[in-house]
Amino acid sequence: MNLRAIISAIILLLSSFQGYSQTLDTIFYDANWKETVKANSSYYRILLKKEDGKFFVTDYYNTGQVQMTGTLTTHDPDVKDGDFVYYYENGVTKTKSTFVNGQETSTKSWDQNGKDVVLDGKVEVQPEYPGGMQNLYQYIGSHFVYPKGLNPRPKGTIILSFVIERDGRSDDVRVVSSVNKILDAEAVRVIKSMPKWKPGIQKGQPVRVMYNIPLTMK
């Protein structure tokens, strides 16, 4: 490579990082997307803070394959904004979603062979918990086990985000707003244990739909 090519490559590399500060962090997650140490991790995240205060985030499988890319307006709790792209471990694009201030506005998905399985646009039929939302909160109330030893009891509202998959199961459960790490873990456990929902329908096809749910601790 001649000197001119080297200089051009350096300029291109530097220009690709314009708009970013030097704040760079690596976070490790277990299989349930809870922070952990590297030795116990299934995923890891590289977080780059931009000059406008937002965060450009790239999640990886432990193999080094990219799992997700996107932008957060805040980190911990994560508030997604803009386009997010998710990948299968084989490198095929899984989902492309658009978020506005943490709310998913559109999504498009593919199977592991790259076949289009979801169309863009608003979900026509929302997912439905068996018996409705009142039954959902009854289920949560009857299955939530308040951990022993928390005295005084922490008070506040845990906000969880989760996805109802095309087969009706809950997935990708994350804590958006925390009250206490022990309570957070119990809330995540209960949401993961929910019976299957009727999935959302769009253009006659089941689609993935994201939900946020508040759980008030009294």
What residues contact 107, with CB distance under 8 A and at least 6 apart?
95, 96, 97, 98, 118, 120, 207, 208
pLDDT, tens digit (0-9, with 9 covering 90-100), for 18-38: 444 445 678 999 988 888 999
Residue of 213, 94, 122, 117 lying closest to 166 (CA atoms): 117
Please give the average per-residue pLDDT across 37-45, as a whole number.
92
What are the tokens at 36? 């952990």
pTM of the model: 0.48
pLDDT, tens digit (0-9, with 9 covering 90-100), for 153-203: 788 888 898 999 989 999 999 998 888 888 999 999 999 999 999 998 876
- What does R_g of the chain's alpha carbons equal in angstroms? 20
Domain chopping of the chain, boundaries: 20-109, 133-217
pLDDT of residue 176: 86
Class of domain 133-217: alpha beta
What is the rounded distance in angstroms from the CA atom of residue 33 to the CA atom of residue 161?
A: 12
Q: Is the pLDDT of residue 3 over 60?
A: no
pLDDT of residue 15: 39
Decide if 186 contacts 147 (C-beta within 8 A).
yes
pLDDT of residue 124: 62
Residue percentage of the chain with pLDDT more than 70: 84
CA distances from 169 to 3, 176, 195, 196, 199 (A): 57, 20, 7, 5, 8
**Positive or negative: CA dihedral 58, 61, 65, 68:** negative
What residues contact 60, with CB distance under 8 A and at least 6 apart?
43, 44, 45, 46, 66, 67
